[in-house]
A and B are shown apart, each in its own frame.
Chain A
Amino acid sequence: MIRNLVQPALVLLAQMALTLALAPLLPGIVNKVKALFAGRVGPPVFQLYFDLAKLLRKGAVFSRTTTGVFLAGPAAAVAVPFTAALLIPMGAATAPVSFAGDAVVLAYLFGVARFFVVLSALDTGSAFEGMGAAREVTFAVLAEPALFMGLATLARLAGSPSLAPMLTAAGQGWRAAGGPLALVLTAWVIVFLVENCRIPFDDPNTHLELTMIHEAMVLDHSGPPLAAVLYGASLKLWVLGALVVKLCLPLRGTWWIDWPAFLGGMVLLAAGVGVLESIMARLRMRRVSQALIAAVVSGTFGFLLLLLA
């Protein structure tokens, strides 16, 4: 009885602690790989931790045009990915929270986060941030169906509308349904890159007005709110990355294989993003929507393939 209660609680705590502690590591790995690829030494892997500590010590400056809504963006940016992390099984653990239809909740949680970030960008009254918000929403509209087609494919494969069995079935279904799963993986990698503003779609490092999407929305944030935004972005990278990694990894059932495999997969994913960012140029704005449509088509095609096979 006690054991039945304690074990899930421990799993929950471990997974949450891991998510909160390790998430800022991913951007560090990406930047390190990029630096090595370019022949530089680059910032240390733990740079984001230092940045966060520095920002938290500073005071925040607020524009006089902003209202209370302005702080909703950073709050949602941290709270939502953390909530979403509860729904995704990581490593050997099953998801701490799991119910029928939680896949839909996952998708719309990110919708909620986007809503508040966009709202706080609009609250500043800056035309520049409004432009960033408009772009973010435009691309989010296209990224969502791609995510959903993948979820539908997995739900069909697992015969269950819940995320944890879906991802387990996906990990074990590569032999039986490799084609559809590869298509879903393609779609999800594109969604992963778009949602996290990585390079073929958006560049998180430059602040060039013409092409920036996500960064344009958070220009007015400073101090602790900015730290929240940055930390939230790394959490989002972690959560969506976990989704992609779990799609590829089968569950062996022993924690000392599954956890290292999962963490290794995350590091590999971050390194892959770094390599991709080093070898690719940013797409033109028009091309972004085309790539997203391609992701939707890929997901749809995967679903159709699975229906027929």
Chain B
Amino acid sequence: MTPNLLLAAIMLINFMLVASSRVSKCIQLAALQGGLLAMVLLLMHDHWPFHVLLMAFSTAAIKGVVIPAMLNRAQDRMKPQREPEPYVGYTLTLVMAAAGTGMAFILARRLPLQPGNLGTLFVPASIMALFTGFLLLTTRKRALLQVVGYLVLENGVYLFSLLLVKQMPLLVETGVLLDLVVGIFVMGIVINHIQTAFDSQDTHRLAHLKD
């Protein structure tokens, strides 16, 4: 079985992430994407040696459960308030994501890849995830959505590194995952500080800071 359909689903989740305005839905979608990444890893192998199983499990646990739970907790602690409008509207970001997808497909054709990876969606999917993560990071004002964007960007990197999973030692992968957890953790603390300082998590307000 090829992981192409799963990769297509991952790309579709990117579109949904860009189009939806609700933070809780975005977190759910990002969690689903993390879970699908673990399944892609499993589908790439015919038989599962211990280190692959371990990596798939830790991916699913960290990207699918731990980080979304952290984000959800942060979300719950926010006071209910009007959501700030993003810098770029939802419809326009969706169009940009579609254009980015087209670019990702073109780019994937140009890259010098191993022949086995040419027909798969790995490269376009990872470039697209990078691009959507970047879009979310730059166009959204809510700090939590930016963290989700970071998560999606990281998913793209992870997807790209899956191509090298046979060569890459387990240690590097776990290092990346650990890095991610620490990154999100730090961001959580930063958001918490933004929240207490400004009574809002609209990062736009950071633009006019005074000492």
Contact B119 A294 (CB under 8 A): no
Who on chain A is nearest to B4 by CB?
A: A309
Shortest distance in angstroms between B144's beta carbon and chain A's nearest beta carbon?
21
Contacts of B15 in A (CB 8 A): 294, 297-298, 301
Q: Tell me how far the C-beta of B156 lies from the nearest C-beta in chain A, rounded to whole angstroms.
A: 17
Q: Is the CB of A301 within 8 A of B4?
A: no
Interface with A: B64-72, B98-106, B195-203, which one?
A: B98-106
User: Does B5 lie within 8 Å of A179, measured CB to CB?
Assistant: yes
Interface residues on A, range: 10 to 19
Q: Is the interface of B mostly helix, strand, loop or mixed?
A: helix
Q: Is A20's beta carbon under 8 Å from chain B?
A: no
Interface residues of B in 1-25 (CB under 8 A from A): 4-5, 8, 11-12, 15, 19
Query: Bound complex: CA of A294 vs CA of B92, how far in Å?
Result: 11
Q: Is the CB of B8 within 8 A of A305?
A: yes
B: interface residue count bin: 10 to 19
Shortest C-beta distance, A37 to chain B (Å), equals 26
B154 to chain A, nearest CB (A): 22
Q: Does A41 contact B (CB under 8 A)?
A: no
Contacts of A308 in B (CB 8 A): 105, 119, 121, 124
Is there an interface contact between B98 and A300, defined as CB atoms closer than 8 Å?
Answer: yes
> Measured between alpha carbons, how far is A49 from B81 in the docked complex, in Å?
51
Asked if B98 and A297 sit within 8 Å, CB to CB, the answer is yes
Contact B94 A293 (CB under 8 A): yes
- Chain B residue with Cβ nearest A305: B8
Select which of B5, B11, B91, B121 is within 8 A of A289 by beta carbon.
Answer: B91
Contact present for A297 and B119 (CB under 8 Å): no
How far is B101's CA from A301's CA once the two chains are assembled, in angstroms?
8
- Out of B4, B94, B105, B119, name the residue touching A290 (CB < 8 Å): B94
Dominant secondary structure at the A interface: helix
Please give, as numbers and ranges, the residues of chain A lying within 8 Å of B105 by CB-CB distance.
304, 307-308
Task: Give the Cβ gap from A186 to chain B, nearest Cβ, in Å.
Answer: 10
Within 8 A of B (CB), among A252-309: 289-290, 293-294, 296-298, 300-301, 304-305, 307-309
Chain B positions within 8 Å of A178 at CB level: 5
CB <8 Å contact, A297 and B94? yes
> Which residue on chain B has the smallest CB distance to residue A294?
B19
Min CB gap B53→A, angstroms: 27
Tell me the bound Cα distance from A290 to B105 in angstroms.
24
Cβ–Cβ < 8 Å partners of B124 in chain A: 304, 308
Chain B 15-46 interface mask (CB, 8 Å, partner A; 1/0): 10001000000000000000000000000000
A304 to B19, CA, bound (A): 20
With A179-B4, A307-B105, A308-B105 known as contacts, the answer to whether A301 contacts B95 (CB < 8 A) is: no
State whether A309 and B119 are in contact (beta carbons under 8 Å apart), knowing that A179-B5, A301-B11, A301-B12 are contacts in the complex. yes
User: B97 interface residue, CB < 8 Å from A?
Assistant: yes
Q: A179-B4, A304-B102, A304-B105 are contacts. A293–B121 as well, Cβ < 8 Å?
A: no
Chain B residues within an 8 Å CB radius of A294: 15, 19, 94
List A residues at the B interface (Cβ < 8 Å). 178-179, 183, 289-290, 293-294, 296-298, 300-301, 304-305, 307-309
Extra contacts besides A297-B15, A297-B94, A301-B15 (16): CB < 8 Å: A178-B5, A179-B4, A179-B8, A183-B12, A290-B94, A293-B91, A293-B95, A294-B94, A297-B95, A297-B98, A300-B102, A301-B8, A301-B11, A304-B105, A305-B121, A308-B121
Can you list 13 pairs linking A and B with CB atoms under 8 Å apart?
Answer: A179-B8, A290-B19, A290-B94, A293-B91, A293-B94, A297-B15, A297-B94, A297-B98, A298-B15, A301-B8, A305-B8, A308-B121, A308-B124
